[in-house]
Structure 1
Amino acid sequence: MTGLSESAAKRRKQLLRFISTDLLGPIAGKMPKSCIESLEKASFHANISRHILDIVPVTEARIVKHEVAAKLPPFLRTEAVFGKRNLYLLHNATVSPLSGMAWIENRVIEESVGSLRRIMDWGDVLHEPMLPVTELRVPQPVVVCHPASYYHWLLEVLPNVLFAVTTFPDVRIVLPEHSPRYVLDGLATALGPEAARDFIFSSTPVRVDRLVVPQYHAQPEFTDPQVLELLRSAVKAKVAPSQHRLGTPGSRSRIYISRGKSRRRLAGEAELEERLRQAGFSILHCEALSFAEQVRAFHEAEVVVGSHGAGLSNLVWCEPPCRVVEIFPKNYILDCFAWLSFSRGFDYRYVICDTGHKIDQLAMDAVLALVQ
């Protein structure tokens, strides 16, 4: 018989819970009660304030409401509230390069990942404060660029790194030792290839004298237009500068974002691709392109079609007029790309498949009708 006995497993679980409580404080559900919800709100506590060297606002609080001509169902929201976004400069703090989660005195800073919900929903990261910590002795401030999925990295992590670099020009960037290609490629595009000389790679959490903690928000499906402006001015301008003129309407490209290499590909996609190819579309596999190639491809696009997925994050690089057609599987609708389209003034349309994760003939006909 292999594995632990039931009694041994229970004892092991109790021991792990004891260790977690000893290190992180009392546990409520999956979360330590000692988490710091807001550094700004908690800054009056002496044991917190001694770690805070500076609080720098980088975006203003605002309410954004998009005026959209088309009549939309309620699941496509056109109004959102964005709180003020801060950068925190902390003394003697620890951060994980894998998730960006930061803590001081074993108290997790929620704003370093967005919220308790995001900590619980997005993988098991509660063990990170219990991992061995590397003392990183560098005179410059440090910010982590953690490898989130492409959507969250492009629209959350990269902008926060850019805010940090703009505010603290000598900041060093810490990354995991095995970072995805799009992270390294994107940083090289945004900061220049010479910036890689100042990268610090680590497989463990690092404790630093000065840590820059960007503030992540709890609702990542809404992208602040101020963030979109930053990406376009600080990144896109280097790849597709303003003097790079677009063609006349009708001469620009029509692209379909293929998920042919994804495990989450919708059944029937190959037939849809062939029908779109006959209608003059180029089939794009974003994972096969460099970061700069994706920027240029979407910059030239006049029509973008794709099923809900990370490739649609590249709508940030498109220019109006642009029509976007998003394909949703049945019972899974998230309006993050609709919001992105509204923010950029695009003509947004959608098709919902009636047969689960399959693009049936009715859905294909609807897509083709929207792009004629």
Structure 2
Amino acid sequence: MTGLTETAAKRRKQLLRFISTDLLGPIAGKMPKSCIESLEKASSYSDVSSHILDIVPVIEPCIVKHDVAAKLPPFIRTEAVFGKRKLYLLRNATVSPASGMAWIGNRILEESVGSLRRIMDWGDVLHEPLLPARELRIPEPVVICHPATYYHWLLEVLPNVLFAVATFPDLKIVLPENPPRYVMDGLAAALGRDAQDDFLFASGPIRVQRLVVPQYHTQPEFTPPQVLELLRSAVKAKVVPQVPSSAGRPPSGARIYVSRQKSRRRLAGEAELEARLREMGFAVLHCEELSFAEQVRAFHRAEVVVGCHGAGLSNLAWCEPPCRVVEIFPRNYILDCFAWLSFSHGFDYRYVICSTGHRIDEQAMEAVIAAVP
């Protein structure tokens, strides 16, 4: 068998390098050709504008400044700027039920992912535009309800689905196959069990005739006030009976510790802290073992919430003031998303940083106990 000539081998190598660079970007680190681009910025291109059927504003822009009495370090922020949030109704677009990422041709729509910085934290999803897409031939508009982690699903995905449902009454909701329990429970709580007739399931990217793309915020650690109000009015009000209270908060307030002992990112020393807090009348909650409605009700009754930084603290969205929140951070990972949630509801927020890294040392434990009323 005759091998390739040297010239033919060089040409084949050049061709393979060209194809690889064209599809995946240079090794130097540039984005793939299917780059992330703003839909509105690209709307001047004829191959993009022909896909845009409507742009519907759902949240007006605002600047939020929380008046916090305590002196806080710079990494606990109290101000944020929120831009206008919109829904985009597109014709003949492709979307992934696993991540919510949408694209037209070789352009990933920035609005569907929030920003390049955000998508780089998602794991291996940039290959999705290279996967084969199945045609979903239905005339109704479609929105994706992708199963992000509990924090992002509760404070971003679910509100965006609710905005879309309110805007497009005949909407169909597409989910990946076998979504987490909290996704199905949360949708049932917000939309009712009858809404499941409007659910569709897909195992991979789909191409749809009419796609609703909600716009995601570039900084997910900040939740706009309109979203928090939507969760209370459209979700909590359906789960928790509205009993008037002269004190403005639910009776029989609970003291709860949000445990991460069954999580892969738990802190050492947590069992000892839990034992001490139990002696002080705290109930220890493993949120992953509770239904969505049980989490809503438990945090609705809370007057003190203590916990290590983690998804369980997303349920602060259901608490009522006055409420004391004590958050525990490992030394090398501090994110102020739950501080922001606390400030948004007028809670008394405190934090403790473990000086020994991923362990609740004696000093941190005493600081937590001292912060509990």
Normalized against structure 2, the TM-score is what?
0.92
- Structure 1 250/175 Cα, relative in aligned 2: closer, same or farther at 3 Å? closer
Q: Deviations over 1:49-82 (max 9, x none)?
A: 1100000000011110000011111111000000
**1:27 Cα deviation from its structure 2 partner:** 8.7
The equivalent of 1:90 in structure 2 is 90
**1:132 Cα deviation from its structure 2 partner:** 1.4
Separation in 2, partners of 1:313, 1:248:
19
Q: Is the 8 A contact 2:251 2:301 kept in 1?
A: no
Separation in 2, partners of 1:27, 1:91:
34
Amino acid at match of 1:264: R
Separation in 2, partners of 1:20, 1:116:
19
The equivalent of 1:63 in structure 2 is 63
How many residues get paired? 361
**1:311 Cα deviation from its structure 2 partner:** 0.4
Separation in 2, partners of 1:348, 1:263:
26
The equivalent of 1:305 in structure 2 is 306
- Structure 1 364/26 Cα, relative in aligned 2: closer, same or farther at 3 Å? closer
- Percentage of identical aligned residues: 77
- Structure 1 92/256 Cα, relative in aligned 2: closer, same or farther at 3 Å? same
The equivalent of 2:78 in structure 1 is 78
The equivalent of 1:188 in structure 2 is 188
The equivalent of 1:42 in structure 2 is 42
**1:197 Cα deviation from its structure 2 partner:** 1.7
Q: Is the 8 A contact 1:25 1:34 kept in 2?
A: no
Separation in 1, partners of 2:344, 2:165:
25
- Structure 1 83/249 Cα, relative in aligned 2: closer, same or farther at 3 Å? closer
Q: Deviations over 1:137-196 (max 9, x none)?
A: 111100000111110111111111111001101110111112111111111111111111
Normalized against structure 1, the TM-score is what?
0.92
- Structure 1 254/52 Cα, relative in aligned 2: closer, same or farther at 3 Å? same
Separation in 1, partners of 2:355, 2:204:
46
**1:344 Cα deviation from its structure 2 partner:** 0.6
**1:44 Cα deviation from its structure 2 partner:** 2.4
**1:244 Cα deviation from its structure 2 partner:** 6.1
Q: Is residue 170 of structure 1 aligned with residue 159 of structure 2?
A: no
**1:35 Cα deviation from its structure 2 partner:** 3.1
Amino acid at match of 1:269: E
Amino acid at match of 2:342: S
The equivalent of 1:226 in structure 2 is 226
Q: Is the 8 A contact 1:155 1:223 kept in 2?
A: yes
- Structure 1 25/58 Cα, relative in aligned 2: closer, same or farther at 3 Å? farther
- Structure 1 107/290 Cα, relative in aligned 2: closer, same or farther at 3 Å? same
The equivalent of 1:342 in structure 2 is 343
- Structure 1 91/19 Cα, relative in aligned 2: closer, same or farther at 3 Å? farther
The equivalent of 1:148 in structure 2 is 148
- Structure 1 17/255 Cα, relative in aligned 2: closer, same or farther at 3 Å? farther
**1:243 Cα deviation from its structure 2 partner:** 2.5
* Range with greater deviation from structure 2 (51-60 or 98-107): 98-107
The equivalent of 1:323 in structure 2 is 324
Q: Is the 8 A contact 1:27 1:33 kept in 2?
A: no
Q: Secondary structure at the match of 2:255?
A: strand
The equivalent of 2:6 in structure 1 is none
The equivalent of 2:287 in structure 1 is 286
Structure 2 portions without partners, runs of 5+: 1-11
Amino acid at match of 2:139: P
Separation in 1, partners of 2:53, 2:20:
31
- Structure 1 193/331 Cα, relative in aligned 2: closer, same or farther at 3 Å? same
The equivalent of 2:107 in structure 1 is 107
The equivalent of 2:353 in structure 1 is 352
Separation in 1, partners of 2:140, 2:229:
28
Q: Secondary structure at the match of 1:190?
A: helix
Q: Is the 8 A contact 2:25 2:33 kept in 1?
A: yes
Q: Is the 8 A contact 1:37 1:115 kept in 2?
A: no
* Range with greater deviation from structure 2 (248-257 or 168-177): 248-257
**1:249 Cα deviation from its structure 2 partner:** 8.6
Separation in 2, partners of 1:315, 1:16:
51
Separation in 2, partners of 1:170, 1:20:
42
Q: Is the 8 A contact 2:140 2:172 kept in 1?
A: yes
* Range with greater deviation from structure 2 (191-200 or 50-59): 191-200
Q: Deviations over 1:344-367 (max 9, x none)?
A: 100000011111111111111111
Pairs within 5 Å for 1:253-268: 253-268=254-269
Structure 1 portions without partners, runs of 5+: 1-10
- Structure 1 214/20 Cα, relative in aligned 2: closer, same or farther at 3 Å? farther
Separation in 2, partners of 1:195, 1:20:
45
Q: Secondary structure at the match of 2:358?
A: coil
The equivalent of 1:6 in structure 2 is none
- Structure 1 148/240 Cα, relative in aligned 2: closer, same or farther at 3 Å? same
Q: Is residue 276 of structure 1 aligned with residue 277 of structure 2?
A: yes
Amino acid at match of 2:88: Y
The structure having more radius of gyration, on CA atoms, is 2
**1:251 Cα deviation from its structure 2 partner:** 3.7
**1:121 Cα deviation from its structure 2 partner:** 2.5
Separation in 2, partners of 1:338, 1:31:
34
Q: Is the 8 A contact 1:88 1:213 kept in 2?
A: yes
Separation in 2, partners of 1:83, 1:169:
25
Separation in 2, partners of 1:177, 1:16:
36
Q: Is the 8 A contact 2:258 2:307 kept in 1?
A: yes
Q: Is the 8 A contact 2:92 2:210 kept in 1?
A: yes
The equivalent of 1:214 in structure 2 is 214
Separation in 1, partners of 2:285, 2:359:
20
**1:32 Cα deviation from its structure 2 partner:** 2.8
Separation in 1, partners of 2:125, 2:110:
12
